[in-house]
Amino acid sequence: MDTREKLDAFQKRIDNDEKIEPKDWMPDRYRKQLIRMMSQHAHSEIVGMLPEGNWITRAPSLERKLVLLAKVQDEAGHGLYLYSSTETLGARRQELVEDYIYGTAKYSSIFNYPTLTYADICVIGWLVDGAAIVNQTMLAKSSYGPYARANIRICREESFHKKQGYEMLAKMAAGTPEQRRMAQDAVNRWWWPTLMMFGPPDDESPNSAELIRWKVKTKTNDELRQSYVDQMVMEAEAIGIKLPDPELKYNNNTGHWDFGEIPWDEFWNVIKGNGPMNRERIKARRKAYEEGAWVREAAMEYARKKQLREEKAS
Ligand code: FAQ
């Protein structure tokens, strides 16, 4: 088959909702787009451990500490599934990692904000994991098999994270005036950045059309953002939390909640590396990477020796 025929056959498989697997033929651009998106997702899970890890030693009780430790550990696991699935495309993990800690590869904008009080931990569970679930439930149906399967597992764990965040926030919102103030203040700071997690508006999203044609994404950034807002309005109301948007209003014609203008300048600034915590996050990741060099070397040596032993034995 010539390239045109291969491309047509590939698109036909996608249109028939077949999964593409690592050894199947795929256009270079499909591979490249997946490596970009999946590795960004993996980096986000790993960088995402930092804002929450910051509160492990200060959790308000042993139970809360155990829950937070388990959550942060889950995020590390998600990073690992995602790096492994990106490797099925021929990418090398070390290069991917070095691309964001020393280069220009991106990770989610949301992890460049500080966690100022324990209420931020509740809000990350509710709002950030909540947004991640809306996005990743869609990605669990992605056309690339290993990515879809990684997201199925991730979503199951994120659902638990969201429930525990919501439960903690509900308790705070029903607590003392000081606890209620902390809960509301955290929601005020995190609401707009969580709306930005879904990416720029559709008419400013250069990758969406191609990703949707290949069913890597099956919904647009704005469609996902809208379903998130619709869901969160009700959840906020149920626990007496006010979302910080005076323009939130139910629209009888569309059946959705209209919302105010997202501060997009802030988003572009954060993804260019100028958010409140970008430099600190990269510094922390560089330190961990450099101090962990001996572990990687030891693991590689162990794998090399094991392979030699197996070759000798066979
Ligand atoms: N942050 O053309 P589009 C989590 C970039 S995991 C930074 O619309 P696309 C778990 C985009 O890369 C959260 N950059 O791009 C957790 C592109 O730049 P490039 C992470 C962003 O790919 C919870 C440019 O803007 N999830 O939270 C962002 O069609 C709690 C133009 O954008 C994923 O990564 C952003 N928010 O759509 C962990 C899911 N948005 O690469 C710990 C997988 C856009 O061309 C605690 N990714 N950009 O230089 C996706 O679904 C998509 O890639 C989007 C962006 C929706 C993020």
HEC string for the chain:
CCHHHHHHHHHHHHHCCCCECCCCCCCHHHHHHHHHHHHHHHHHHHHCHHHHHCCHHHCCCHHHHHHHHHHHHHHHHHHHHHHHHHHCCCCCHHHHHHHHHCCCCCCCHHHHCCCCCHHHHHHHHHHHHHHHHHHHHHHCCCCEHHHHHHHHHHHHHHHHHHHHHHHHHHHHHCCCHHHHHHHHHHHHHHHHHHHHCCCCCHHHCCCHHHHHHCCCCCCCHHHHHHHHHHHHHHHHHHCCCCCCCCCCEEECCCCEEECCCCCHHHHHHHHHHHCCCHHHHHHHHHHHHHHCHHHHHHHHHHHHHHHHHHHHHC
* Contacts with 131 (C-beta within 8 Å, 6 or more apart), sequence order: 110, 194, 195, 197, 198, 228
- Tens digits of pLDDT across the chain (314 residues): 788 999 999 999 999 999 999 999 999 999 999 999 999 999 999 999 999 999 999 999 999 999 999 999 999 999 999 999 999 999 999 999 999 999 999 999 999 999 999 999 999 999 999 999 999 999 999 999 999 999 999 999 999 999 999 999 999 999 999 999 999 999 999 999 999 999 999 999 999 999 999 999 999 999 999 999 999 999 999 999 999 999 999 999 999 999 999 999 999 999 999 999 999 999 999 999 999 999 999 999 999 999 999 999 98
Q: Is the CB of 37 under 6 A from ligand 1?
A: yes
Q: Is the CB of 128 under 6 A from ligand 1?
A: yes
- Please state, in angstroms and rounded to a whole number, the distance separating the CA atoms of residues 91 and 85: 9
Of the candidates 158, 155, 162, which has an alpha carbon nearest to the alpha carbon of residue 126? 162
Residue 196 CA to ligand 1 center (angstroms) comes to 9
Q: Is the CB of 164 under 6 A from ligand 1?
A: no
Residue 307 CA to ligand 1 center (angstroms) comes to 38
Amino acid letter for position 53: G
Q: Is the CB of 269 under 6 A from ligand 1?
A: no
For the CA of 49, the nearest atom of ligand 1: 42
For the CA of 198, the nearest atom of ligand 1: 56
pLDDT of the residue at 1: 78
pLDDT of the residue at 150: 97
Residue 36 CA to ligand 1 center (angstroms) comes to 10
Nearest CA to ligand 1 atom 23: 129
For the CA of 154, the nearest atom of ligand 1: 10
Q: Is the CB of 38 under 6 A from ligand 1?
A: no
For the CA of 224, the nearest atom of ligand 1: 56
